[in-house]
Amino acid sequence: MIFSRDYENEQHILKTEVEDLKNQIVEQDSKVVNINSFVELARKYTSFEKLTPGMLHELVEKIIVHEGDKSSGHRIQKIEIYYSFVGDLESSHVVAQRTRKTPAA
């Protein structure tokens, strides 16, 4: 009885793990398709002199500009870029810092 109960518990745990892994595979496959779509789109623009509004609309889904933070004495502004098909990439986070210039005496 004890072995049977342990076996049934183990089977239940393994079935749950298999379902989780299947869901992860589906999610990863979807990401691969999205990345391939983005790469295909980006190949159109491998060589360009000027960023045009059309290019920007095709390549970028949205840009979020956060409120500036002046608590450190310097203005720091966080900007997030969400690319078409691939979304938010950690490397697309930009932090802009501007210091106030003091007039020359």
What tens digit of pLDDT does each residue of 18-76 get?
999 999 988 887 777 777 887 887 788 777 788 888 888 888 888 888 888 888 777 88
Domain layout of the chain by residue ranges: 2-98
- Within the chain, where are the H helices? 2-43, 53-59
pTM over cut 0.85:
no
Length of the chain: 105
pLDDT in tens, 66-98: 888 888 777 888 888 888 877 766 655 666 666
Residues 6 or more apart in contact with residue 67 via CB below 8 angstroms: 77
Angle at CA 100, nearest 5°, toward 97 and 105? 150
DSSP class of residue 68 equals P
